[in-house]
Structure 1
Amino acid sequence: ARTWKILSFVVSLPGVGVCMLNARLKMQQRSHDSPEFVTYFHLCIRTKALSWNDGNHTLFHNPHSYLLPTGYEDSGH
């Protein structure tokens, strides 16, 4: 048990720290602009309207990142 406890502190905690650093650096490099909207009809098939709101928004709709069949909601793409 002592060996596993030592390995946890020596290997796991620095590994988590390296992963967090990597995620932070990747996030800073990433562009925050939405990609250009391209109409792919197979992605916009609605066989029936959704049960809430106007029938086109998902339950957890995020206007910054989720697409509607007509494009992005708030940025005018």
Structure 2
Amino acid sequence: MTRLVTVDIGGTHARFALAEVAEGRVVSLGEPVTMKTAEHASFQTAWEAFDEMIDEPIPQAVAIAIAGPINAEVI
């Protein structure tokens, strides 16, 4: 089983949650933490804020979804 942080970044909000995945399936998904993107200067500051909110070591694996246009190899 793999523990990871799931992140969904949109234009208005970023959502972080802890998840467990086994054999390509989500086994558990924790309650999401929603943050306003305007309140964080970067992904790093939002990541650090999430890390401070959870009561356990942050997993080293992450899955990130980012809303926005894709133009060839440029995101």
Shared topology, TM-score over 0.5? no
Structure with the higher fraction of residues in strand conformation? 2
Q: Which has the higher contact order (CA 8 A, sep 6+)?
A: 2
**Shorter-chain TM band:** under 0.3
TM-score, normalised via structure 2 length = 0.19
TM-score, normalised via structure 1 length = 0.19
Structure of larger gyration radius: 1
